[in-house]
């Protein structure tokens, strides 16, 4: 078993701005240590104006197998790679970049698959249920697509950018519809925050008025581990899914995409 990581380690980046709140590097590096795999994920804070230059350098980094991408770069990343998988093309955003031996880059999107995998792993039923999703950016669009594919009965899309929400609803079909932020959530089984609201530890995307105790509130924000949005859901007796659950559920998917597992 190698001492990990060595100078021969396979490398992947985790890029975003900011980056300190992300959960995936610790999870991937713990897997590498425990499995004896000579690989490392390095978190890098890349400002938007530096993103294109960073990706150009990544192409020439021979020991790098790619990068995981977080806000605010997911949509911009879709325009910097050579090709997109169907999942990334559908939502117009890439949260994983896979680098091949020639430096060619493929953009994929695993946010939605990870979010739904965490839900189903916890035994949460999705078929026929009614959900409201706040935020139709890169993560939100991917989650929306995965929820619709899981057999959701109705998905309300809430975003201040009405055109963005409309385009996503049109892409997903009749199950998805554009909506305003509801005054009451009594008619929703799932309430999901796919925005950065809550990262400050103070703000919340919705006061959760009317949230039922048998509902679930999910968040994509990973720091604080339990956001004000989720704390309020707990006070109302509802189940919660923190952002770290989505991140950790993506690790097996990401490891396979990088070629680190079969």
Catalytic residues: 74
Give 107's contacts (C-beta < 8 A, 6+ positions apart). 77, 78, 80, 81, 83, 84, 85, 88, 94, 96, 97
Contact between residue 185 and residue 132 where contact means Cβ atoms under 8 Å apart: yes
Comparing C-alpha atoms, which of 205, 208, 217, 231 is closest to residue 135? 205
- CB under 8 Å to 20, separation ≥6 — which residues? 43, 45, 223
Is residue 179 within 8 Å of residue 156, measured between CB atoms? yes
CB 202 within 8 A of CB 172: no
Measure Cα distances from 140 to 29, 32, 237 in Å.
Answer: 26, 29, 25
């Amino acid at each position: 078993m190698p001492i990990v990581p060595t100078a021969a380690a396979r490398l992947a980046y985790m890029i975003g701005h900011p980056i300190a709140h992300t959960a995936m590097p610790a999870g991937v590096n713990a897997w590498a240590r425990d499995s004896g795999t000579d690989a490392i994920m390095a978190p890098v804070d890349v400002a938007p104006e530096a993103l294109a230059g960073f990706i150009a350098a990544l192409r020439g980094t021979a020991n790098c197998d790619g990068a995981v991408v977080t806000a605010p770069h997911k949509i911009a990343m879709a325009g910097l790679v050579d090709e997109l998988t169907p999942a990334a093309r559908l939502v117009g955003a890439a949260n994983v970049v896979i680098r091949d031996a020639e430096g060619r880059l493929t953009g994929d999107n695993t946010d939605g698959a990870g979010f739904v995998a965490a839900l189903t792993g916890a035994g949460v039923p999705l078929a026929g249920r009614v959900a409201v999703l706040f935020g139709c950016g890169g993560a939100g669009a991917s989650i929306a697509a995965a929820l619709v594919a899981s057999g959701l009965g109705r998905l309300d899309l809430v975003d201040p950018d009405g055109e963005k929400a409309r385009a996503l609803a049109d892409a997903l079909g009749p199950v998805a519809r554009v909506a305003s932020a509801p005054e009451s959530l009594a008619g929703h089984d799932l309430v999901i925050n796919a925005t950065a609201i809550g990262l400050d530890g103070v703000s919340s995307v919705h006061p959760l008025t009317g949230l039922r105790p048998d509902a679930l509130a999910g968040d994509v924000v990973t720091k604080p581990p339990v956001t004000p949005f989720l704390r309020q859901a707990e006070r109302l007796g509802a189940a919660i899914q923190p952002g770290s659950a989505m991140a950790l559920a993506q690790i097996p998917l990401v490891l396979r995409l990088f070629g680190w597992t079969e």
